[in-house]
Amino acid sequence: MRNGIVYLAALILSTGICLAAGPQKADSTAAPNWKAAKIDGHRTGVTAPSKDNVKTAIGTVEKGVYTAPNGRVFKKGATPAVARLMIDAQPAMAPVKEVLGYSEQEMKRYRPQCELSNWFTDFLRAKTAELTGRKVDVAIYNFGGIRTDMPQGNITVDDVMSMFPFRNTLCYVALKGSDLRAIFDFLARTGMQAVSGVQLVVRNHRLESVKVGGEPLDDKKTYGVATINFLLTGGDGLFIARNAQELIDSGVYVKDALIPYIQRLTRESTAIIGRLDDRVAVFNDELENKEE
């Protein structure tokens, strides 16, 4: 009910682009019911507030009268009450509006790879190695675990929580090369997920080649894999922990690892930058022949 009220408030006040989440279960498999509504602010001039500009972004309510940022005055109806609700909620929301860092580009989510998934899985691989003290060769993360795009400009706590809202923990899994190959075979058939440390070539939904660290995958070698607990035993059809030679769950949630990392980038005057590379190449000869 509370989410519904806040969403209604955003609609009435026309705040810009609103994301509202429905009820979410506590387990990792539950997906928020994200709904996006584009709102142009023509009624009130309201914009999404930061923690320091509530009055100029939302307006004020005095003696039951709402004065919007564009000067319009609302005395009747639900608008003053809704505005009061939104304004009163801002102090509690201030911590999630803290600016963590800066992204030089908007990074949208799309398969088989994108700037955002590449940036994040590279972080996942490095951070899992740091947390576990193990050599990590590969990272695998599900695209469904990245819920929103990364905006260009300042990145807030709220942005990180919106992108990675699940209570998933960083995990290390040691796998034989043959088991790792089986995972990539599955992804080639069913749909690619976000990866790091590998070069995959998929043709007509079949794994054509795979390299790890620039070298062909060795079925007899043991590789360190960074992932999340959701993907260990069936999440998105993946069973990464199957046949694991070693398994370490760091107990650290994705967002709790990512927020300090972005803060460190800021201290080092480093922007968030994602890049495309040759880690995943997918070809569909049948589709290409039809287009010709």
Output the pTM of the full model.
Answer: 0.82
Number of domains within the chain: 2
Q: Are residues 41 and 136 in the same domain?
A: no
* Last residue of one domain, picked from the residues 61, 96, 131: 96
Rounded mean pLDDT, 40-61: 89
* Last residue of one domain, picked from the residues 51, 70, 96: 96
For residue 14, is pLDDT > 70?
no
Residues 88-100 have pLDDT tens digits of 999 999 999 999 9
Residue 54: give the domain boundaries: 2-96
For residue 60, is pLDDT > 60?
yes
Distance separating alpha carbons of residues 20 and 22, to the nearest angstrom? 7
Q: Are residues 77 and 204 in the same domain?
A: no
Cβ(138)–Cβ(213) below 8 Å: no
Q: Are residues 92 and 141 in the same domain?
A: no
Residue 225 belongs to a domain with what CATH number? 3.90.780.10
Q: Are residues 21 and 120 in the same domain?
A: no
Closest CA to 258 of 221, 216, 228: 228
* Last residue of one domain, picked from the residues 76, 96, 116: 96
Among 23-27, 165-169, 190-194, 265-269, name the one with the lowest average pLDDT. Answer: 23-27
Q: Are residues 142 and 229 in the same domain?
A: yes
> Which residue in this structure is represented by tokens 């795979």?
210
